[in-house]
Structure 1
Amino acid sequence: MPGGPGPVLNRPLPTSQLPRDSRDTLFLLAVVAWVVLPHAANLPAWTLLMACLALGWRGWLAWHARPLPARWWLLGLLLLAMAGTFWSHKTLLGRDAGVTLVVALLALKTLEMRARRDAFVVFFLGFFTMLTHFFFSQSLLVALAMLLGLLGLLTALINANLPAGRPPLATSAGLALRMTAWGAPVMVALFVLFPRVAPLWGLPADAQGARSGLSSRMSVGDVTELALDDAIAFRVRFLNANGAAPEQRQLYFRGPVFSSFDGREWKPRQPEELVNQVLYRRPPASLKTQGTPVPYEMTLEPNNRPWLLTLDATVEAPRLGPQIAYATPELQWVMARPVTELLRYQAVAYPDFSYGPTAGDPLLRQETELPAGYNPRTLQLASEMRRDPKLAGADDGALVQQVLNRLATGGYSYTLEPGLYGRDTADEFWFDRKAGFCEHVASSFVVLMRALDIPARVVTGYQGGERNPLDGYWTLRQSDAHAWAEVWLNGRGWVRIDPTAAIAPGRVGSMQRLVAPRGLVASALVTMSPGLMQSLRGLWEATNNRWNQWVLNYTQGRQLDLLRKLGFEAPSWEDLVLLLGGLLAASALGAGAWQLWDRRQHDPWLRLLNQAQTLARARGLETPGVATPRTLGRLALERWGPAGQPLHDWLLQLERLRYAPPAPPASIGRPPTASALKDLERQLRRLNWPTRPT
């Protein structure tokens, strides 16, 4: 590995003529760069710039065989790294600050590799940096990238321990690959059986990097931005007999419900206005369901929110293992803490449902409140509708249908680019722009309903999805984030009304989505093969989903289920420890037995030499503990004279079989063939030994 300062040359050496130290250093720098690269999205820009400059500087020094920088350079850069970390994170502690420092120190340490000891520090810092990637993401891509980094670091570590000379990197890489393969069974056993004890097994509490397609509040424009985001929000697998999903128009996954409006922003009712808002273990008693239940399994991506997105309407609490789910009066399910890691749960929904208070409930009056001084033209429209002779005596359901007809026939459009709305968003939508995304439509619709004195509120969540034919999972993306309305109708309770469906029926009925303009490469691929991109994406997402289900979602509950299948009646983490300990002990005994077998079977030449030495000692020949065949033959002649000649000749024949076989020179030093050894063993048994020492 890298040594001290080398000779100063006027120009760089060709790659084939680089000294071994320089070659090994350049390879290690390339591996370190690969390990650091995935942190590009997680660390401050100055950290990556410092790492690139340090690695580039060290590579230039190795290529040109220049001396390493003085220690005062390193001290200054270290102080600069610490100051930058404190400036970026306002602390030197915690996940983000710690990872920033580790990356900076790893890069700077390469400028101090004067001996093998320094190189070992770089190796171990590299291994630690690999682990820090999983603080931010545990995706399949990150795992594959770190597997390559592991093989690279092992290759460099093996190469540093090889003897002098210029061993090819391919030899070290092959040995690193074999070592990884040998260690894979141990890794799998530890993964499957090592007890997962929350919260130590999960991500740190400051892992706040996840994105959510929804917000705790809704202003016009928020969900519009998310329509351009193709990231996955969650996956759903339907568990009924044939795995069929409900009708597309019923695929509504409920999130936050907004009832309070200040003219600019929608938000939930304050907790004090709803008695025991998050303390219900069941939905309200007014919930009535009918039809066939739909069991399903949800795999929710981290979103740093306590919401459990559920298919409308989920009656029983989702099964979360040791965690508890609570229901709000608006049929939303929540947890006591945010979802900061991949979460899988099962539930049962009834798409055909009704719920809500009876007439005269004081809470209904709150659902008709509007802020004063906003949207005067919308209020005037509501007043005109109430005075319209054609609607005289019409119930609230007829008024709702009249508004939906206006949306369907009044020239309104569904678009990603509605433009910037001003103060009176409902007025602008109904009379000026007549264009918007789902949140514009839902907000304006609810404002008009309230102006008509009909209780209404905004519901946000996800609608639709896309079925992956490879694994049968439905994938919902951030672009499937949606906003719709609920209105209260006498005798029916709260009724879902999706005003966007009146403008663009394909948004709900046939899953037609607005998409952002494609880039040049994506457009070319779609033009050449329209189904290619879809097939590739489906394949990748099915693979990534398997990773999520079998690796990231391998929880303590699944560990205990495995023990039940193995015959444990009431498994616990103690059983896991005992099983893991027994497996490790059995593996150790097996390895020891294999070593004994390997010693006897894989080098029978030594076994045969030891057998001859043992027989000679039994007849009085004093031999050293370790002796070559030629030494034993000489001692036999000295002790027995001509009577020792047969043993002497046999030992020389054994020596020639090992070190001078009648084969190509490449076979010298290799174990002899089994048949030749068998012949010598038979000769040893028939050998004429002296009756007693002379």
Structure 2
Amino acid sequence: MPERTSGWRDPGTLWLVLPVALALAPHMLFVPGWVGLAAAMTLAWRLSPAWRPGGAQRLLRVTLAGAGVAATYLQFHTLAGPEAGIALLVMMAALKLLETDSRRDHAVMVLAGYFLVMATLIHHQDMVTTAWLLTTTAALTASLAASQAGRVPAAAAALRTGTLIVVQALPLAILLFLLFPRLAGPMAGLVQVESARTGLTDSMAPGSVSQLIQSDAVAFRVDFADPAADARGLYWRGPVLSDFDGRTWRRAGNHAGMPEAEPAGPALDYTITLEAGDQPWLPVAGLAREVPVEGAWSTTYLEWLTPRQGHDRLRYAVHSWPAFQMETELPNWQRARTLALPEGYNPESRALARRWADESADPRAIVARALAYFRQEPFHYTLAPPPLGDDAVDDFLFQTRRGFCEHYANAFTVLMRAAGIPARVVTGYQGGERNAVGGYWVVRDRDAHAWAEVWLPGAGWVQVDPTAAVAPERVERGLADALPAGERPLLNLPTGWLKTLRQTWDYLSNGWNQWVLGYDFERQQRLLSALSPSLATLHGTLLAMLAGAGLILAGLAFALLRDGAGRGDEVDRLYGRFLARLARIGLTRGAAEGPADFARRAARDRADLAPAVAAITELYVGLRYGGGAPRRVAELRRAVRGFRPARRH
């Protein structure tokens, strides 16, 4: 490869810049906009004819590097840590291209590209990103091989070389992935939460849940022990909201401890894979005695939480009872909290509830009266309700009558409290979609739901879903069937072959998450123990890793040596056949005569054979002494086969 290259038309420059651009591309989604713009402009400058190595532009490059470091510090207030470190790496790698004009610089640049590839995994480790990074690694390796060869090869040949090297390294990488000892604890601070997302929160105001529901992102996946289990009728419990200020519902706080509760129906066994997020809630269908997540704990409201606010992808097995009886005796402090209503809000709603209470002293009858009100009055289920005023419940119940689950749960809970019945709002998820390819259920953000719990004497806390009184299709068949036809496109739900394609992709992604990203210390121990109990020990694992690596490297060495020897033997055979055909017409190579000298002498004696002799000799010398690409052997084979020199007459 030329020592100095410039301009996008120059192959040497492209072999330098394009692989690095592939390594930089994924980071453009995460670094600040000014960093991405600066990197793009630097790459464009390196490809332009205006770039010149060394000399006059050196001061400008040093100035840009200093400005980049200063700007990074001002942005992040540090130069350490994943975010600031990656931004600085992106900027410095781009600027390094401006002073890369030698073979040594090229190798340093490729090494920086490898660091960029590894840094991408801090943000994403999905299948698409991994495929991109493997392709980028092959391109960087091809660029390095081309640089060290001292010439600009054909693109296909160089990429084939880079790909071959990556493929040869994969068995060793897989062995190390399977056997290298895993850390039993979290690597806090080293890797950021992948695609951290905000799901359910500890408050609910009009519009908060419906905004979440218009997202198609996966919240969690459920794999039931019983293949016949149906998730559509299940309520996945999340934050419980007891405090109300007239507009917003909020959690009452983290009161640790399991509430008094007993199962009231059959149990379910299932495994949940919860996507990474920045909220601590662990969804559970009903009553669970424990959730096997490190540090997980329950509140007195039957919420399960992780000890950290943010978490990576979690997988946990649960034994729970969807139907249960909770707190048949209500503590006074809870009664007071779940009856409280702020003064001055929603006078019409409170008057309606008091009238119901005056007409019947039975709490069950009042609950039934409220549900009948929702069924009989012209309420509509919609994702696009009109705005509400300060007296949101009054506006909803007596004017707009259009809303989503949060509107119905909010209004019902206020009515119950106004009638003297303890009540609270529960948020979580309801239902899900079965993945027919993988046989598991997918619960998405759009399955987020809000319902109510009322406390009834002798029964304790009883689940009531007022949304089901207005739109039973929401509970029985899912969100899409409950919405008006004009609003269903908002969900962008695929059908037919698109649905099958999406489910297939989700199945593959879930497998990747489980067996690659989820291959933790516990899973490694189970796998090694299943293969051999001795492998589950540190000593056994290290011995197996060393033995396996030795076998793989020995196999690669044997294959390379055999390929080189086999190719060398064939090259010599073909050249010998070429010499034999020249000898038959009186041109014999001398014992001390090299191939190039003999070719020149043969060309002088037989000028008509000069082009063919020169071409065959060049191919032979390139393969025999310069390595050459395997396709050149085929070229030599064809050239010798077609070489049929005739005697002079």
Both proteins in one fold, TM over 0.5: yes
Counterpart contact for 2:453–2:462, Cα < 8 Å: yes
Counterpart contact for 1:203–1:340, Cα < 8 Å: no
Corresponding position of 1:411: 378
Counterpart contact for 1:375–1:424, Cα < 8 Å: yes
Corresponding position of 1:568: 533
Letter in 2 for 1:346: A
Counterpart contact for 1:298–1:345, Cα < 8 Å: yes
Query: Mapping of 1:168-567 within 5 angstroms?
Result: 168-199=154-185, 204=190, 207=193, 210-240=196-226, 243-246=227-230, 248-249=232-233, 251-271=234-254, 274=255, 277=256, 280=257, 283-284=258-259, 286-313=260-287, 315-320=288-293, 323-358=294-329, 361-388=332-359, 392-393=360-361, 395-513=362-480, 514=483, 518=489, 530-567=495-532
Asked if residue 99 in structure 1 is aligned to residue 86 in structure 2, the reply is yes
Of 40, 57, 62 in structure 2, the residue corresponding to residue 75 of structure 1 is: 62
Counterpart contact for 2:235–2:428, Cα < 8 Å: yes
- Find the aligned partners of 2:569 and 2:127 in 1 and give their Cα distance: 46
Counterpart contact for 2:5–2:12, Cα < 8 Å: no
- Find the aligned partners of 2:74 and 2:553 in 1 and give their Cα distance: 50
- Find the aligned partners of 1:592 and 1:363 in 2 and give their Cα distance: 73
- Find the aligned partners of 2:232 and 2:22 in 1 and give their Cα distance: 44
Structure 1 segments of 4+ aligned residues over 4 angstroms from their partners: 64-69, 198-203, 359-362, 514-519, 588-608, 628-632
- Find the aligned partners of 1:76 and 1:371 in 2 and give their Cα distance: 62
Per-residue CA distance 1:544-566 (angstroms, 9 max, x = gap): 11111111111111111112112
After TM superposition, give the deviation of residue 28 of structure 1 in Å. Answer: 3.2
Of 92, 104, 107 in structure 2, the residue corresponding to residue 117 of structure 1 is: 104
Unaligned runs of 5+ in 2: 574-588, 594-619, 622-632, 641-649
Which secondary structure state, in structure 1, belongs to the residue aligned with residue 48 of structure 2? helix
Per-residue CA distance 1:587-615 (angstroms, 9 max, x = gap): 4555667678778887679999xxxxxxx
Counterpart contact for 1:236–1:297, Cα < 8 Å: yes
- Find the aligned partners of 1:339 and 1:497 in 2 and give their Cα distance: 31
Which secondary structure state, in structure 1, belongs to the residue aligned with residue 533 of structure 2? coil
Letter in 1 for 2:104: R
560-569 vs 456-465, which moves further: 560-569
Counterpart contact for 1:208–1:304, Cα < 8 Å: no
- Find the aligned partners of 1:288 and 1:116 in 2 and give their Cα distance: 73
Q: Which has the larger radius of gyration?
A: 1
Rate the CA distance shift 1:193–1:600 in 2: closer, same or farther, 3 A: same
Counterpart contact for 1:212–1:478, Cα < 8 Å: no
After TM superposition, give the deviation of residue 479 of structure 1 in Å. Answer: 1.3
Corresponding position of 2:636: 666
After TM superposition, give the deviation of residue 306 of structure 1 in Å. Answer: 2.2
Which secondary structure state, in structure 2, belongs to the residue aligned with residue 467 of structure 1? strand
Letter in 1 for 2:386: G
After TM superposition, give the deviation of residue 174 of structure 1 in Å. Answer: 0.6
- Find the aligned partners of 2:487 and 2:197 in 1 and give their Cα distance: 19
Structure 1 length normalisation: TM-score? 0.77
After TM superposition, give the deviation of residue 436 of structure 1 in Å. Answer: 1.7
Asked if residue 26 in structure 1 is aligned to residue 14 in structure 2, the reply is yes
Rate the CA distance shift 1:104–1:516 in 2: closer, same or farther, 3 A: farther
Letter in 2 for 1:248: R
Counterpart contact for 2:53–2:99, Cα < 8 Å: no
Per-residue CA distance 1:294-324 (angstroms, 9 max, x = gap): 11111110112222111223x231233xx23
After TM superposition, give the deviation of residue 337 of structure 1 in Å. Answer: 2.1
Rate the CA distance shift 1:452–1:204 in 2: closer, same or farther, 3 A: farther
Which secondary structure state, in structure 1, belongs to the residue aligned with residue 236 of structure 2? strand
Counterpart contact for 1:210–1:303, Cα < 8 Å: yes
Query: Mapping of 1:125-204 within 5 angstroms?
Result: 125-164=112-151, 166-199=152-185, 204=190
Rate the CA distance shift 1:664–1:548 in 2: closer, same or farther, 3 A: closer
After TM superposition, give the deviation of residue 329 of structure 1 in Å. Answer: 1.7
Aligned-residue identity in percent: 34
Letter in 2 for 1:288: E
Structure 2 length normalisation: TM-score? 0.82
Letter in 2 for 1:479: R
Per-residue CA distance 1:177-201 (angstroms, 9 max, x = gap): 1111111100101111111114465
Which secondary structure state, in structure 2, belongs to the residue aligned with residue 296 of structure 1? strand
- Find the aligned partners of 1:122 and 1:607 in 2 and give their Cα distance: 39
Corresponding position of 2:607: none
Corresponding position of 1:636: none
After TM superposition, give the deviation of residue 220 of structure 1 in Å. Answer: 2.1
- Find the aligned partners of 1:238 and 1:665 in 2 and give their Cα distance: 60
After TM superposition, give the deviation of residue 41 of structure 1 in Å. Answer: 2.6
Letter in 2 for 1:98: G
Rate the CA distance shift 1:516–1:215 in 2: closer, same or farther, 3 A: farther
Unaligned runs of 5+ in 1: 7-11, 609-627, 633-657, 671-694
